[in-house]
Amino acid sequence: MTRPARYDAVVEFYTQFAPDVYDDPPMAALLQLIGDVTKLQLLDLACGHGRLTRELARRGAGVVGVDISAALLDVAHAREMEDPLNVSYIQTDAASVALEGTIFDGVTCSFGLSDIDNLEGAIATVERVLRTGGFFAFSLLHPCFPGWESKQASPSWSPEHGYYAEGWWRASSPAHGLRPRVGANHRMLSTYLNTFARHQLVMEQTAEPPPPSDWLTEPPRGGPVPVYLVGRCHRTS
């Protein structure tokens, strides 16, 4: 019997808020860091309803998507049926992916790291399945900044508790209404970087793309702060 995931109840958010359009600043930056994927074998970790997974396949990669939510993968499977791209989807926890010795050229994770409860286990998965010299590319809400009071700018940590208070938290009124429903894991930037380093993943490039222009209709008092962090690592050994 499939164990329910807290994301099963928010499928409509992902399908409405994250369509197969790829010109928004964080996705454009992530795809730029990923680069040419023609004939590469890729794993899309915490793939959700398959938005990035499908685009990587369209760009010529062989892609496996994994996610903990059966409901989100139902959407991904349905879209694969409608528009076959030869994508494989597997329902599993990111910390316990078992792919029978399959080795990938790259692993991607679009806005999934803060949704993964066991970061250490997930990055151990990346290390286990990634070939030496392969890349790990990710995007997430910038862990250093809480966003600002706006209908658009989602916070990455609780302003009441501050940056140093790591752990799972549930927002009260962020943009788009997702985080009050499923919560998020806040981790300091150093936690991410040190976890990567423990698993032979070295940062080689980062980007802090600006928010969409309509977010700046309600800018913070001190001027806009970074909303997104996008990065690419390579496995050293």
Q: What is the C-alpha separation between 39 and 20, in angstroms, rounded?
A: 21
Q: What is the C-alpha separation between 228 and 32, in angstroms, rounded?
A: 15
Q: Is residue 101 part of a domain?
A: yes
* Number of structural domains found in the chain: 1
Q: Which residues contact 169 (CB under 8 A, 6 or more apart)?
A: 157, 158, 161, 183, 184, 185, 186
Tens-digit pLDDT string for the chain (237 aa): 345 688 888 888 888 878 889 999 999 999 999 999 999 999 999 999 999 999 999 999 999 999 999 999 999 999 999 999 999 999 999 998 887 779 999 999 999 999 999 999 999 999 999 999 999 999 999 999 876 655 555 677 887 888 999 999 887 765 556 777 788 899 999 999 999 999 999 999 999 998 877 766 665 565 677 889 999 999 999
Q: Which residues contact 226 (CB under 8 A, 6 or more apart)?
A: 142, 144, 145, 208
Q: Is residue 88 part of a domain?
A: yes
Q: What is the pLDDT of residue 93?
A: 92
Q: Is residue 202 part of a domain?
A: yes
DSSP state of 231: E
Q: What is the C-alpha separation between 120 and 53, in angstroms, rounded?
A: 23
Q: Is residue 184 part of a domain?
A: no
Q: Report whether 176 contacts 16 (CB < 8 A).
A: no
Q: What is the C-alpha separation between 82 and 95, in angstroms, rounded?
A: 30
Q: What is the pLDDT of residue 1?
A: 36
Q: Is residue 67 part of a domain?
A: yes
pTM: 0.92
Nearest to 102 by CA among 43, 32, 36, 184: 43
Q: Give the DSSP H/E element, type plus range, for residue 158.
A: none
Q: Using N-to-C axis directions, what is the helix angle for 189-198 and 119-129, rounded to 10°?
A: 40
Q: Is residue 92 part of a domain?
A: yes
One-letter amino acid at 194 equals N
Q: What is the C-alpha separation between 148 and 159, in angstroms, rounded?
A: 9
Q: Is residue 176 part of a domain?
A: no
- Return the CATH number at 10: 3.40.50.150
Three-state secondary-structure class, residue 30: helix
Q: Is residue 224 part of a domain?
A: yes
Q: What is the pLDDT of residue 160?
A: 81
CB atoms within 10 A of CB 199: 19
Q: Report whether 78 contacts 107 (CB < 8 A).
A: no
Q: What is the pLDDT of residue 176?
A: 55
Q: What is the pLDDT of residue 3?
A: 54
Query: What range does the domain containing 231 cover?
Result: 6-142+189-235
